[in-house]
Homo-oligomer: A and B are copies of this chain.
Amino acid sequence: MLTDRQLLILRAIVDDYIKTAQPVGSRTLSKRDDVTFSSATIRNEMADLEEMGLIEKPHTSAGRIPSELGYRFYVDHLIRPESISPQEAKALKSLFAHSVNENDRLIRHTADLLSELTHYTTLVLGPKEEGQRLHHLELIPLAEGRVVIVLVTETGHVEHKTLQLAEALSREAASRLMERLNQTLRGTPLSNLRLRLLEEIRRFRSEHSEQTSLLSKALDIVLMDQQDERPLIYLGGKANMFDQPEFQDVAKLRPVLELIEQQEALFDFLSPNLDNQILITIGSENNVDALKDCSVIRAHYSVDGVSLGTLALIGPKRMDYNRGINSIIHLLQAFQTELRKNSLD
């Protein structure tokens, strides 16, 4: 167990290092107002903290920096949930002053806001399809067998795909089929949609003896890779990485930026967050080599209890956890409120 003085020192070291990016020495600490004891005492305490694995020194004659364990302890026990200042709260509210109708523009906007707020890079994992339910389906036949299919989910997410059929689909046939599909399929979870849709088309065909097998085949193909398709990941404030002193070296910067550009890898990384809490992972806790010098703050967003995606903040291990956590919590609220407005149930 740590004494109060050790807690004070540890917190001071982490705070200072977060601010300056320089190893913190005993003399520096002793000059602080809230430190009443001498540098020698601090050195003794530091030795103890180091023995416990909470801090470490880059080399013999340097000050101390927090270890990963130290950051972990800091995050778990030493952060004060500083409420944001009134003017910030106000600013936050006005951020979403005009509602944004389209969910994906809203997400993009949110990613930018969060990165502006924190000066870190933001990742937003777009709504995953699985949990969502169909609200409306529209088939738009164009010339030459081209058909646009528009799919609207209950969360208000709209997307379109283009099919290419071997022969044209008449507007009437499309319209009849569509009406039928919307009647029977509204509310179907997207994860089931492909099977249900094919089934329904087959039934429709037999009932009306209409030639829709081409459509059925084309739809199948499109929905097939629809299924494999992963939610988009929106990035905000990529350039913020350049400001971090730890990433002034291209060798350090490169893997992080490269990872961030890879939708696939990021998806795997952002997806599996189980509980609804704010999740913080520090350095090696990320289990991704490229992020071994980074910390990530993640938060789930959901609407009406349906978990949709993830809001994440990425920065150096020496990131301002306090500010990051607070910003993400508050923005999460506002974001979810906006999303709620766009949903159709």
* Contact across chains for B152 and A158 when beta carbons are under 8 A apart: no
Which of A35-43, A132-140, A296-304 interfaces with chain B?
Answer: A132-140
Residues of chain A in range 158-208 having any CB-CB distance to chain B below 8 Å? 158-164
Interface readout for A140-165 with B: 1 if CB under 8 Å, 0 if not? Answer: 10111010101010001011111110
Task: Out of B99, B102, B162, B261, name the residue touching A102 (CB < 8 Å).
Answer: B162
Query: Which residues from chain B contact A102 at a C-beta distance below 8 Å?
Result: 161-162
Closest Cβ of chain B: how far from A304's Cβ, in Å?
15
Closest Cβ of chain B: how far from A126's Cβ, in Å?
16
Residues of chain A in range 247-263 having any CB-CB distance to chain B below 8 Å? 247-250, 253-254, 257-258, 261
Query: Which residues from chain B contact A163 at a C-beta distance below 8 Å?
Result: 101
Query: Which residues from chain B contact A345 at a C-beta distance below 8 Å?
Result: 143
Task: Out of B144, B158, B162, B258, name the residue touching A101 (CB < 8 Å).
Answer: B162
CA distance A84 to B140 in the complex (A): 42
CA distance A261 to B160 in the complex (A): 26
Query: Which residues from chain B contact A250 at a C-beta distance below 8 Å?
Result: 242, 247-250, 253
Q: Classify the secondary structure of A's interface with B.
A: mixed
Query: Which residues from chain B contact A248 at a C-beta distance below 8 Å?
Result: 250
Q: Does A278 contact B (CB under 8 A)?
A: no
Residues of chain A in range 87-138 having any CB-CB distance to chain B below 8 Å? 99, 101-102, 135-136, 138
Q: Does A344 contact B (CB under 8 A)?
A: yes
Interface size bracket, A side? 35 or more
* Contact across chains for A142 and B344 when beta carbons are under 8 A apart: yes
CA distance A239 to B99 in the complex (A): 35
Q: Does A238 contact B (CB under 8 A)?
A: yes
Interface readout for A39-55 with B: 1 if CB under 8 Å, 0 if not? Answer: 00000000000000000
Q: Which residue of B lies closest to A144 (CB)?
A: B344
A–B pairs, 5, beta carbons within 8 Å? A135-B143, A140-B150, A238-B261, A239-B261, A242-B257
